[in-house]
Every structure is written in C-alpha cells, then in structure tokens.
Copies of this chain bind each other. A is one copy, B any other.
Amino acid sequence: MVERKSDDLDLDAIFGALAHPTRRELIEQLASGPNRVSDLAEPHDMSLAAVSKHLQVLEEGGLVDVEKDGRVRRCHLDATPLSDAFGWLTRYRVFWEDRFDELEDHLEEADQ
C-alpha cells in the first residue's frame, strides 16, 4: 500500500498550480517584481475574477503571497516551492539524458 506523505500534498498543489498557462504567465509577470492584481490581470483576456481565481491556486501552492493594503491587493512571488518540484524532477534527469544520448547516437548512425 502506498501511503500519502505531506510532501505529496505540497507537490500536488505545486505541480497543479503550474498546469495552466495563465498561472505560469502570472509567475513570469511576478518574477519582474511585486504587482497589483489589477495590473497583473491587464494582459490576460479574462475577467479580474478569473485572474484572481488563478492567483488563489498559486497562493494555495505557496507560490504567491497576497498582501492586502486597503482595497489594493499586491502579489509577491515566492519561488521556494518550485525547488521541491525541481528536486522531484532531478531524480529522473538521468532518464531523459540517456534518451537524448540514444537519439543522438541514432542520428549519427543515420548520417554515416
């Protein structure tokens, strides 16, 4: 039987947060510095409510902190959870590197 660990819950939330282009785009926008929800929403072809929902998913994944200042909500990127996702992927690095080496060998053989 496979047991669920708390790390699993984090990785579910982190990978889940990254599984949408708008949320990856919001991370990219916040990499330039903190920004207001209304300014973050501006380049997206969706309602402010829809962008807020995506920001909430990022917040649940621990990737965004939302600071309230009166009616203004300012978002900050917290990239630290991404290191957990990166760490998980690193375990499989040898597998894709082996695959790329195989592909390269095939191409070299085809060229000869």
Chain A contact residues, CB within 8 Å of chain B:
1-2, 4, 8, 11-12, 15-16, 18-22, 24-25, 27, 31, 43-45, 77-80, 82-83, 85-86, 88-93, 95-96, 99-100
Contacts and interface: CB of A to CB of B under 8 A. Distances in A.
Contacts of A25: 2
Q: Which of A77, A85, A90 has the most CB of B within 10 A?
A: A85
Given A43-B1, A43-B2, A19 B21 contact: no
A7 to B, nearest CB: 9
B31 A20 contact: no
A88 B16 CA distance: 15
Contact of A2 (B15, B22, B86, B92): B22
